[in-house]
Structure 1
Amino acid sequence: MAERKTLLGKSQAEPDFLHFNDLACEAVGGKVIFATDEWFAPAKNLLKKEPPQFKASAFTDFGKWMDGWETRRKRIPGHDWCIIQLGVPGSIYGFDVDTSFFTGNHSPHISIQGGCLDQMPALTLDGDRTGMAASSSEMAAAAKLGSEAWPELVGVSPLQPGYSDCCHNYFRTDFRGRVTHLRLNMLPDGGIARLRVYGVGLRDWSTVSTNQKVDLVALTNGGMCLGYSNAHFGHPRNMIGLGQAANMADGWETAPIEININLVTSHMALPVN
């Protein structure tokens, strides 16, 4: 991996909403169901659980390989956007729009809208979409969602480039309604590495039988981590995630406490028998 340069010379302060759950991550079932353009890198990369990577020698048939979503420069009116189906519907408190390694080709501005749909739309993006753009039929199907009229969770806001000290663009939102889908607008185009959507799960309890046993602390049922003493190797919220843990790292693990024992020797001469 190439050495990451800095721009501002100091790291950003992390907001408190980062302790909430990522409701859009692919690990909890989040997926991108529509994107206007994916020429350089597919939109599904936005929801990867792993941090973004940079491979200096990696190229595709369409240009430099980038670990994120990257579109072509607009030559027609409008802007690029995608629809994200949250893995866990819920109330959102904040976003991390990560531009890692997009240091000139990042999207200059973004905005985010949210909607609560009664039914999951029959929109899918299958396979490797690199080098592709939405077809006329896909555009028509997405238009039926009316996403351009969804409530605005984040207004038009500038993004910092993907240098190590400014790649995390944090945005709070005061919208507390239940959200099932997001519309991420890139204004007008460019690249974003990851989108993290931090909030609390809000289950539709009308779909749950009164006789059904439920896990009251589960991520999907509104469980959340309020605080912790140490999360060096894994965040406590991993314990309330979906399904079985993938491996040891997919749980809560703290750093070992170092106990220093000082052995003191006496400089006094011992008696000689």
Structure 2
Amino acid sequence: MTDIPKEGKLTRFLDFTQLIDMASECVGGKSDSPSFKEHEYTEFGKWMDGWETRRKRIPGHDWCVIQLGVQGIIRGVDVDISYFSGSYAPRISIQAANLNEENVPTMPPRGVKTGAAATPEEFEAISELNSDSWDYLVPMSELKLGDPDSSHNYFFVNSQQRWTHIRLNIFPDGGIARLRVYGTGQRDWTSSDSKEPVDLVAIAFGGVCVGFSNAHFGHPNNMIGERATQEPAFMSKTVHRKLAMARMMPRVGPKPMADGWETARRLDRPPVLENDENGLLQIPGSEWAVFRLAHPGVITQIEIDTRYFIGNSPDSCQVDGCVLTTQEEEDMVRNQWILPAHKWKPLLPVTKLSPDQTHVLDSLTLELQDVITHARLTIIPDGGVSRLRLKGFPSSICLLRPLREKPTLKLSLKAGFRANL
């Protein structure tokens, strides 16, 4: 068994909470805050919104294994013990592994077995993973109870490796309301099919929002994630050692508009709206979001999805791209993305949008023949977008793409950019 590191401490660096929750039931989204029902009880005891084990009366400690919804680099974790004031786990540790899918054993169907420990068949299957010997991301660390309804414990993770699974250990038993695993997705681009375009901004591959003007009702990262499912955040491969899954997290249904990016209504809109000769609203303002692509590349197709946004979709939108080094991106973040106009190159001109529809549009890239590293979606004047897909070809394999009656793609990257990838 791997040696357990010395006891850790809470982190003071909370910047990682702006990244995606890789363990969320909605890939790239944020899990709901836990709730409390004061007078509700079950046959197993008080109803609690989270994972709680029975009071341990045998040697050892409790643990579970979680398959991440997004595989990639973990920057930090939040162990939320809200409302578990009299039953929270005193200490935790977190281990991780990078497993090939073919090496993951098939788990017996479990379903919701509240109050029941893992079966011998489940223990036998999970033992093949040797999870007790996985690398430690967070050593054994004490949890602190804060406000009853907001008890977050943040831990910074110093690792550059790609992870697919984590093991949460609680010492010795108790309850945890939510486990959030913050980081960025990472894809093996060497296995990409050069003949088919790929979504270069997908959050699961490493795309991320690096700036936005407004996110009153929903973060732009939602646009590049997967759609919410009805699976709980503890995935189907979750197992536990000699413990009872006394209270499972409730199933979370899709939340269509909360599952996208939606801004507040702009206060500078005119009292009476009018169209121009092209049918576009004559409104002075707009909202925007900037994304770093998962991999530099050529965008050939753009998908703007306004599904579920029926009375609050944007009137129109446009998409632009540029090439930035790591240092330039950091400078832009500090300057609120006030980027010189000549830096941006149009990928999609101002285009009229319809509510509750998926718009699949050709990019101007085939004419521009340029690689980009960042993209900016501008919506006019405000509103909500469900999904953004920027499909194309990673720059490292663009030259391998067969010519389909299109001009040869001439790749260009700024001097010094490759060193910053």
TM-score by length of 2: 0.51
Counterpart CA distance in 2 for 1:258 and 1:106 is 45
User: Which residue of 83, 86, 91 maps to 1:109?
Assistant: 91
**Who is 2:183 aligned against?**
199
User: Which residue of 137, 147, 160 maps to 1:176?
Assistant: 160
Structure 1 window deviating more from structure 2 (224-233 vs 180-189): it is 224-233
Structure 1 window deviating more from structure 2 (222-231 vs 59-68): it is 222-231
Residue 252 of structure 1 pairs with residue 268 of structure 2: no
**Who is 1:27 aligned against?**
26
**Inter-CA distance 125–233: structure 2 relative to 1 (3 Å threshold):** farther
The alpha-carbon deviation at position 92 of structure 1 amounts to 0.5
**Inter-CA distance 28–193: structure 2 relative to 1 (3 Å threshold):** same
**3-state DSSP class of the match of 2:165?**
strand
Cα deviation, 1:133-166, whole Å, max 9, x if unaligned, reads 0122212221210111111001111112263575
Query: What are the equivalent positions in structure 2 for 1:78-117 lying under 5 Å apart?
Result: 78-117=60-99
**3-state DSSP class of the match of 2:33?**
coil
**3-state DSSP class of the match of 2:26?**
helix
User: Which residue of 115, 118, 121 maps to 1:137?
Assistant: 121
The alpha-carbon deviation at position 256 of structure 1 amounts to 3.4
User: Which residue of 33, 47, 59 maps to 1:51?
Assistant: 33
**3-state DSSP class of the match of 2:198?**
coil
**Who is 2:50 aligned against?**
68
**Who is 1:39 aligned against?**
none
The alpha-carbon deviation at position 48 of structure 1 amounts to 8.5
Counterpart CA distance in 2 for 1:125 and 1:189 is 24
The alpha-carbon deviation at position 183 of structure 1 amounts to 0.2
| Larger strand share, 1 or 2 | 2
The alpha-carbon deviation at position 127 of structure 1 amounts to 2.1
Counterpart CA distance in 1 for 2:83 and 2:148 is 8
Cα deviation, 1:52-90, whole Å, max 9, x if unaligned, reads 111112211111111100001211111000000011110
**Who is 1:8 aligned against?**
none
**Who is 1:3 aligned against?**
none
Counterpart CA distance in 2 for 1:49 and 1:130 is 21
The alpha-carbon deviation at position 233 of structure 1 amounts to 1.2
**3-state DSSP class of the match of 1:221?**
coil
Alignment check: 8 A CA contact 2:21 2:30 kept: no
Query: What are the equivalent positions in structure 2 for 1:104-253 lying under 5 Å apart?
Result: 104-119=86-101, 120-123=104-107, 126-161=110-145, 163-164=147-148, 167-243=151-227, 246-253=255-262
Alignment check: 8 A CA contact 1:106 1:162 kept: no
Structure 1 window deviating more from structure 2 (156-165 vs 96-105): it is 156-165
**Inter-CA distance 180–231: structure 2 relative to 1 (3 Å threshold):** same
Cα deviation, 1:199-252, whole Å, max 9, x if unaligned, reads 111123354322121111111111012233332211111010114884122111
Counterpart CA distance in 2 for 1:207 and 1:65 is 46
The alpha-carbon deviation at position 253 of structure 1 amounts to 1.8
**3-state DSSP class of the match of 1:220?**
coil
> Which amino acid in the other structure matches residue 256 of structure 2?
N
Alignment check: 8 A CA contact 2:93 2:139 kept: yes
Q: Which has the higher contact order (CA 8 A, sep 6+)?
A: 1
Alignment check: 8 A CA contact 1:19 1:227 kept: no
The runs of at least 4 aligned residues of structure 1 exceeding 6 Å deviation read none
> Which amino acid in the other structure matches residue 24 of structure 1?
A
Identity, % of aligned positions: 54
Counterpart CA distance in 1 for 2:108 and 2:74 is 24
**Inter-CA distance 65–166: structure 2 relative to 1 (3 Å threshold):** closer
Show structure 2 runs of 5+ residues with no match.
Answer: 1-10, 229-253, 269-421
Structure 1 window deviating more from structure 2 (244-253 vs 230-239): it is 244-253
Alignment check: 8 A CA contact 1:160 1:166 kept: no
The alpha-carbon deviation at position 129 of structure 1 amounts to 2.0
> Which amino acid in the other structure matches residue 141 of structure 1?
A
TM-score by length of 1: 0.78
Structure 1 window deviating more from structure 2 (248-257 vs 173-182): it is 248-257
**Who is 2:395 aligned against?**
none
**3-state DSSP class of the match of 2:194?**
coil
Alignment check: 8 A CA contact 1:23 1:199 kept: yes
Counterpart CA distance in 2 for 1:72 and 1:88 is 30
Show structure 1 runs of 5+ residues with no match.
Answer: 1-11, 30-46, 260-273
Cα deviation, 1:81-115, whole Å, max 9, x if unaligned, reads 00000111100001111111100200000000000
Structure 1 window deviating more from structure 2 (130-139 vs 187-196): it is 130-139
